[in-house]
Amino acid sequence: MDKIYLNQMMFYGYHGLFPEERKLGQRFSVDLILELDLSKPGKTDQMEHSINYGAAYKLVKEIVEGEAVNLVEALAENIATQLLLDFSLLQACNVKVYKPDPPIPGHYQSVAVEIYRERKQ
């Protein structure tokens, strides 16, 4: 399957289990892999045969910067579900959500959750 990548989209959200996370907020980064057949847009050079990257970015931004959830897992699931609902050409998506500054002690770059969802036939 062909793929469209949107990498390291940066947002500020209020997700987490702890009151401080919900009050102060924190950074989140999201990577998407959108799977669909790109042969038709490749031949026709017409956007209606593909997925508009700007629209996908806007959708993710609205979810990450929108209503708070407790878990990064829920955030990733919400993104995948809405992508499959909004983009009829999308066959599957891989969503990876990074939380660079979770409130856990130690030295690490980030924590992340990655999910893969396919359109149900």
Catalytically active residues, by annotation: 99
CB atoms within 10 A of CB 8: 9
The Cα 25–Cα 22 span in angstroms is 6
Cβ contacts of 33 within 8 Å, gap of 6 or more: 3, 4, 5, 93, 94
62, 46 in Cβ contact below 8 A?
A: no
